[in-house]
Amino acid sequence: MYLNANLEGRLVNDPEFKTGKNEREFVTFRMAVNQYFGGQETATFLNCTGNEYVAERIKKVDIKKGRLLHIDGNLTERHYTDHDGKDRSSLDVAILDWHFVGVKDKDEKPATADSASAPVAAAKTGKLQDPVNVGSEDDLPL
């Protein structure tokens, strides 16, 4: 059974790309999710891990620390012992899907060269139409 999670928060660190035992790349980062209880704001920090497909998408758009993301994933609690011998626990998210939230930062580079908007792409092909005068009223379906 899985505990599904829909999270919206900011990256605490830049994503780290690593290679697993099976020679496949994966991505890890920490995310801060703010919650409001009784007029007080608290932050929950989560470790997020994505498989090779998630890692490829994140690498392609070059996401940086501080970026606001929405993540769909599976939540698990992990118990471990720290360097001082104290028992600790952390919340980990296995990322199933993600997308951007809000506007991108000024210094963030575009996703890809071919991600231009439709009107700009249409202008390059010479097939740009005036959105106000697309056709006559006879062309509208009723």
In a domain, 47, yes or no: yes
pLDDT tens, position by position, 101-126: 977 665 655 554 443 333 444 444 44
In a domain, 80, yes or no: yes
pLDDT tens, position by position, 25-36: 999 999 999 998
Distance from C-alpha of 97 to C-alpha of 42, rounded to nearest angstrom = 25
Q: Is the pLDDT of residue 10 over 60?
A: yes
Judge if pTM exceeds 0.85. no
In a domain, 68, yes or no: yes
Indicate which CATH number applies to the domain containing 117.
2.40.50.140
In a domain, 139, yes or no: no
Of 9, 27, 30, the closest CA to residue 18 belongs to 27
Percentage of the residues of the chain whose pLDDT score is greater than 70: 72
In a domain, 43, yes or no: yes
Of 21, 9, 134, 23, the closest CA to residue 68 belongs to 9
What range does the domain containing 70 cover?
4-129
Of 103, 99, 102, 81, the closest CA to residue 90 belongs to 81
pLDDT at 16 (0 to 100):
97
Distance from C-alpha of 106 to C-alpha of 138, rounded to nearest angstrom = 44
The count of domains in the chain is 1
